[in-house]
Chain A
Amino acid sequence: MSLRNPTGEYSVDWVLLNMAVRLRWLCGVLGVALAVVIGAYWYHQIIRAEHYERLAENNRLRVLRLDAPRGLIYDRSGRILVENTPTFRLMIDRGESADLGASLAFAAGILGREERELRAALERHRGVAREVPVLLAEDLELTQVARFEVSEPEHPEFEISTSRRRLYRHSFQTAHVVGYLGEPTPAEHDRDDSLAAGDLVGRSGVELLRDRRLRGNHGERIVVVDSRGRLMGEDVQRADAEPGESVTLTIDLRLQQLAESLLADKAGAIVALDPRDGAVRAMVSSPSFDPNRFAGRLSQEDWDRIVDAPGKPLQNRAIQNTYPPGSVFKIVMAVAGLAEGLLDPEERVYCNGATRLYDRRWRCWQRRGHGFVDLRGALQHSCDVYFYRQGVKIGIEVIAAYARRLGLGGRTGVELPGESEGLVPDSEWSRDRRGYPWYPGETVSVAIGQGPLLTSPLQVAVMTAAVANGGFRVRPYLVAGGGEPPEPLGLDAEVIAFVAEALANVVANGTGRGARTPVVAVAGKTGTAQVVAQETWIRSEDLPPDQADHAWFTSYAPVDAPELVVVVFVENGGRGSEAAAPLARELLEDHFGAAAGT
């Protein structure tokens, strides 16, 4: 790149002239390079400005969650049923660990767990940025916490964080009422913005019922952090957590505990409620489970073990399972017959231990027979023959209508989720659901609480409450203040009074003698429900355990001013008079004895 030298002679000026030309050319190159650089800055600072602004904010700001403590659950007199307890969690900052394998082995040694378990726990946080500490183990014991604290100089990667864990003080005793917690599903996370990672939600019982209010609202701190995640200066924004609302239940812890212990080695349910307004004082289902097991993170095997445990402990037998009511249904029969004028209380029927209806022989539970019985006597001794015959007279439509009116065969309206309806059959049901006409002989079975009839213990309690409170339908409720005024059933007061008097007699002199107590005057009705229809008469004790009769006893006390309805149901327990009535007596004695004592 030289100019042509016209003379060909050497001159400094000529050399300089050539050099100047080449220098100007270089300046052009420099200019282009600078333009490229300026262009790059323009691209990043003007065109992509917002993109980088967002990235800078992401770098700088970190959102820290402020946990809202879950609300507590109390019994009716303010005794704590469910609370929160501090728990220690082990976090690991993988960025601080020189050798992750060695760190895990060290932690496994202190925790007394397999290193491979911890590795699996760590694996779940694979996607989390390296400098963010992740959860390694929960529910450390204080001694373990101390050992991690002491080893801090050699193992700075471990951090102990405190958290809260749900504590069910009376574990098995209140399990079905208060329920338990579980991890929300991805779908629930999507649906509910208030749920953050690591939250647990109510899965059953009051925990589920009042989940949103028990949870409260998480707060949030937006803080400035430097490149190593250290907090810098003051919060950019802070919204304090709103603690969850506490709940007071209508449950009487003392009654609940006693009821649970009475069912300890049996399957069954006990319901106690106040017939005046429907407040549930005790609701026990057995076998029970320990909701504390669900308060932490639960492995799939543990979950399966609980769900598939013998006796299906997660089921609430008081409301979710339905059974034939057996002779407690005779209360409905008496009310229906009297209210419709189809039953003359003075009419006597002869019972010789069996009767013939619709070309079939129908047995009374009492093989010897009861002789002549009127309505009062039939209730007192639970005479089947009497009700077989009167049932035919009353007819299935009337029986079904009254059964439903008194609260059977439909949800009681208790707040707990998952309540079953049960079944009160009639001819319409038979036609629509079964697809064949009602067979009149079935009415005979229904008359003594058998046949397709299915009721839950809570429904039986509602029915009994209607007799106790003089003819009002109550809606059972568990959350204090959640009650509704009972609904009048439009029944003649004399009808109710007659039945009430008869029920008092059952306990005083009849099949319910097992519930008789000097502490308080009790009224009640026994029930012994057959599990499988039997052609021949077999003593219940001789049946295999899973086919043995269900034992019922429904009762209330005191007779003249009822305050408490108690229903005892023992699955495959045998006779109601022997397996259920004595349990009710213990409960009533304790309840009214304690009340009298104070």
Chain B
Amino acid sequence: MLPREPDRWHLLRRVRSVTWLLAGSALALSVIGLVVISSASADMNTDYEVRQSAWIVLGLLVMTAAAAVDYTFLLRYAFWIYLAAVAVLAAVTFFGHEAGGARSWIGIGGFGGQPSDFCKIATVLLLARHMAEAQAPVAPRDWLWAASAFVVAPVLLIALQPDMGGALMFVPMLAAMAIVAGLRLRSALIALGVAAMVAGAIWVFALQDYQKDRVSSFFRPGADPLGSGYQVRQSRIAIGSGQMLGKGYGEGTQSNLQFLPTPHTDFVFAVLGEEYGFMGVTVVLGLLLLYLGNGVRAALAARDPAGMLLVVGLLAFIAGHVLYNTAMVVGLLPITGIPLPFLSYGGSFMLFCCAATGLMIRVDVQRFVNI
């Protein structure tokens, strides 16, 4: 009982503040990110701010394109999209070229891109459809296991690259979608048990030494101040020394004198904290909250379970990145490669965030037509 082709003029009349607030906050965050990246990469050989500008423009196009496509159409072909995404991911994992110790980049016309980001959307689409179908009275009761299985394939591939941070971010997504889809307590407990066993197995068999170091150094920050604990320490110094108002554009000594690791990507928020202080941190977190809140509004407006779950999955991905990244740079969580949505430099992740935004807008706009 999928609807007929919707009337586009009809849809445009349904555009409301959610659309503008989602797109507006995303754009504002991207511009702020651009400013911080340009300060943080001032002494680097690559013009990251120019590249990031290009990614923002491309991201706006992708956002518009995603908003222009009927998401129910995407849901209908979710399995094939998922299959294609996983196939590409597998190809890259086993044949891609190495960058920074991890095999994950594919070249697209001179720009690097991570197929894992595309895979995130594909997985959310498939899960949304699968969990929504489970809401029907005739649904199979054990939807969680199939859903988990859909997640395991991309997670394993991403973990093999190895990109632990990227793999880890599937966990809040699956959890949020499962909870909203009506996870029962017993299934949740079993799932947690299995997850714990898998985590143990990963620690023993899959984690590289440097990754173990990061985790253990998180619990013992004083030990080995020049090793893994160094990054957390320097990041905290950057943030703390920013104080209330920050040191100003280009004045961050921690970032510009290379005390901070990767200041333009994973640690962009530490640069922000150093140069714009608690004020800058509050403004950016406020904008992120505005974005997430309007995402939730879009989810609540959905008139079909699949649409709502789709928005929830995408939002959970973005919220997971936001929480983990901001907590990690201030030392609340172990350091791992998780970028900050819209602010960190990075092409394919920017495109993922924009595509997700476009899909959320589409779900919001299409809120009356699916019944």
Interface residues of A (CB under 8 A from B): 1-2, 10, 12, 15-16, 18-20, 22-23, 25-27, 30, 33-34, 36-38, 40-42, 44-46, 48-49, 51-53, 55-56, 59-60, 130, 224-228, 232
Query: Is B136 among interface residues, defined by CB-CB distance under 8 A?
Result: yes
Write the chain B residue with the least CB distance to A224.
B257
A87 vs B319: C-alpha distance when bound (angstroms): 63
A34 vs B182: C-alpha distance when bound (angstroms): 24
Of A23, A49, A232, which is within 8 A of B240 by CB? A49
Q: Which of B10-18, B107-115, B299-307, B347-355 contacts A (4 or more CB under 8 A)?
A: B299-307
Residues 216-239 of B contacting A (Cβ, < 8 Å): 226, 234, 236-239
Query: Is B164 among interface residues, defined by CB-CB distance under 8 A?
Result: no
Judging by beta carbons under 8 Å apart, are A56 and B327 in contact? Answer: no
Residues 301-357 of B contacting A (Cβ, < 8 Å): 302-305, 308-309, 312, 319, 323, 326-327, 330-332
Of B244, B253, B257, which is within 8 A of A46 by CB? B244
Judging by beta carbons under 8 Å apart, are B304 and A12 in contact? Answer: yes
Q: A16-B304, A53-B240, A59-B237 are in contact. List 13 more A-B contacts (CB 8 A).
A: A12-B304, A19-B182, A19-B309, A36-B332, A37-B326, A40-B331, A41-B281, A45-B244, A49-B240, A55-B241, A56-B240, A59-B234, A59-B257
Q: Which of B53-61, B68-76, B96-104, B173-181 contacts A (4 or more CB under 8 A)?
A: B173-181
Residues 265-297 of B contacting A (Cβ, < 8 Å): 273, 277-278, 281-282, 285, 289, 292, 296
Known interface pairs A37-B330, A41-B281; A23-B182 also in contact (CB < 8 Å): no
Pull 9 A–B residue pairs with CB atoms less than 8 Å apart, ordered by A.
Answer: A16-B305, A22-B182, A25-B179, A37-B326, A38-B285, A41-B278, A41-B330, A59-B259, A224-B257
A18 vs B305: C-alpha distance when bound (angstroms): 10
Judging by beta carbons under 8 Å apart, are A30 and B135 in contact? Answer: no
Residues 252-267 of B contacting A (Cβ, < 8 Å): 253-254, 257-259
Q: How far is the CB of B259 from chain A (nearest CB, A)?
A: 5
A91 vs B312: C-alpha distance when bound (angstroms): 61
CB neighbours (8 Å) of A49 from chain B are 240-241, 243-244
Of A20, A41, A60, which is within 8 A of B239 by CB? A41
Q: How far is the CB of B107 from chain A (nearest CB, A)?
A: 31
A20 vs B312: C-alpha distance when bound (angstroms): 10
Judging by beta carbons under 8 Å apart, are A37 and B332 in contact? Answer: yes
A53 vs B277: C-alpha distance when bound (angstroms): 12
Judging by beta carbons under 8 Å apart, are A34 and B179 in contact? Answer: no
Q: How far is the CB of A309 from chain B (nearest CB, A)?
A: 48
Judging by beta carbons under 8 Å apart, are B254 and A46 in contact? Answer: no
CB neighbours (8 Å) of A22 from chain B are 179-180, 182
CB neighbours (8 Å) of A36 from chain B are 327, 332
CB neighbours (8 Å) of A30 from chain B are 292, 319, 323
CB neighbours (8 Å) of B277 from chain A are 45
Query: Is B154 among interface residues, defined by CB-CB distance under 8 A?
Result: no
Chain B interface residue bracket vs A: 35 or more
Judging by beta carbons under 8 Å apart, are B240 and A19 in contact? Answer: no
Judging by beta carbons under 8 Å apart, are A59 and B332 in contact? Answer: no
CB neighbours (8 Å) of B166 from chain A are none
Question: Which of A1, A2, A56 has the most B CB atoms < 10 Å from its CB?
Answer: A56
Write the chain A residue with the least CB distance to B293.
A27
Query: Is B137 among interface residues, defined by CB-CB distance under 8 A?
Result: yes
Judging by beta carbons under 8 Å apart, are A46 and B278 in contact? Answer: yes
Judging by beta carbons under 8 Å apart, are B257 and A225 in contact? Answer: yes
Query: Is B371 among interface residues, defined by CB-CB distance under 8 A?
Result: yes
Query: Is B358 among interface residues, defined by CB-CB distance under 8 A?
Result: no
Judging by beta carbons under 8 Å apart, are B258 and A226 in contact? Answer: yes
A26 vs B309: C-alpha distance when bound (angstroms): 13
CB neighbours (8 Å) of A41 from chain B are 239, 273, 278, 281-282, 326, 330
CB neighbours (8 Å) of B244 from chain A are 45-46, 49
CB neighbours (8 Å) of B33 from chain A are none
Known interface pairs A52-B239, A56-B253, A59-B257; A33-B305 also in contact (CB < 8 Å): no
Interface residues of B (CB under 8 A from A): 135-137, 176, 179-182, 226, 234, 236-244, 253-254, 257-259, 273, 277-278, 281-282, 285, 289, 292, 296, 299-300, 302-305, 308-309, 312, 319, 323, 326-327, 330-332, 371
Question: Which of B226, B241, B258 has the most A CB atoms < 10 Å from its CB?
Answer: B241
Of B273, B285, B323, B332, which is within 8 A of A45 by CB? B273
CB neighbours (8 Å) of B182 from chain A are 1-2, 18-19, 22
Judging by beta carbons under 8 Å apart, are B289 and A44 in contact? Answer: no
A44 vs B329: C-alpha distance when bound (angstroms): 12
A33 vs B285: C-alpha distance when bound (angstroms): 12
CB neighbours (8 Å) of B312 from chain A are 23, 26
A500 vs B244: C-alpha distance when bound (angstroms): 89
CB neighbours (8 Å) of A25 from chain B are 179
Of B137, B181, B237, B319, which is within 8 A of A56 by CB? B237
CB neighbours (8 Å) of A51 from chain B are 240
Of B296, B327, B330, which is within 8 A of A44 by CB? B330
Judging by beta carbons under 8 Å apart, are A44 and B305 in contact? Answer: no
A161 vs B58: C-alpha distance when bound (angstroms): 54
Judging by beta carbons under 8 Å apart, are A59 and B308 in contact? Answer: no
Q: How far is the CB of A54 from chain B (nearest CB, A)?
A: 8
Judging by beta carbons under 8 Å apart, are A23 and B137 in contact? Answer: no
A224 vs B292: C-alpha distance when bound (angstroms): 41
Judging by beta carbons under 8 Å apart, are A59 and B253 in contact? Answer: yes
Known interface pairs A22-B180, A37-B326, A37-B332; A226-B257 also in contact (CB < 8 Å): yes
Judging by beta carbons under 8 Å apart, are A33 and B323 in contact? Answer: yes
Question: Which of B234, B240, B299 has the most A CB atoms < 10 Å from its CB?
Answer: B240
CB neighbours (8 Å) of B319 from chain A are 30
Q: How far is the CB of B71 from chain A (nearest CB, A)?
A: 16
Judging by beta carbons under 8 Å apart, are B238 and A56 in contact? Answer: yes
A226 vs B44: C-alpha distance when bound (angstroms): 14
Of B179, B241, B258, B296, which is within 8 A of A52 by CB? B241
Judging by beta carbons under 8 Å apart, are A15 and B257 in contact? Answer: no
Judging by beta carbons under 8 Å apart, are B278 and A55 in contact? Answer: no
CB neighbours (8 Å) of A59 from chain B are 234, 237, 253-254, 257, 259
Of B137, B239, B323, B371, which is within 8 A of A10 by CB? B137
Judging by beta carbons under 8 Å apart, are A34 and B289 in contact? Answer: yes
Judging by beta carbons under 8 Å apart, are B296 and A23 in contact? Answer: yes
Of A18, A19, A37, which is within 8 A of B327 by CB? A37
Judging by beta carbons under 8 Å apart, are A52 and B237 in contact? Answer: yes
Judging by beta carbons under 8 Å apart, are B300 and A20 in contact? Answer: yes
Q: How far is the CB of B278 from chain A (nearest CB, A)?
A: 4
CB neighbours (8 Å) of B236 from chain A are 44, 52
Judging by beta carbons under 8 Å apart, are A23 and B180 in contact? Answer: yes
Of A19, A42, A45, A224, which is within 8 A of B181 by CB? A19
Write the chain B residue with the least CB distance to A40.
B330
CB neighbours (8 Å) of B234 from chain A are 59, 227
CB neighbours (8 Å) of B305 from chain A are 12, 15-16, 19
Q: How far is the CB of B269 from chain A (nearest CB, A)?
A: 9
Judging by beta carbons under 8 Å apart, are B327 and A227 in contact? Answer: no
CB neighbours (8 Å) of B243 from chain A are 45-46, 49, 53
CB neighbours (8 Å) of B254 from chain A are 56, 59
CB neighbours (8 Å) of A37 from chain B are 285, 323, 326-327, 330, 332
Q: How far is the CB of A239 from chain B (nearest CB, A)?
A: 22
Q: How far is the CB of B305 from chain A (nearest CB, A)?
A: 6
CB neighbours (8 Å) of B135 from chain A are 12, 15
CB neighbours (8 Å) of A15 from chain B are 135, 305
CB neighbours (8 Å) of B327 from chain A are 36-37, 40
A232 vs B308: C-alpha distance when bound (angstroms): 54
Judging by beta carbons under 8 Å apart, are A130 and B226 in contact? Answer: yes
Q: How far is the CB of B223 from chain A (nearest CB, A)?
A: 15
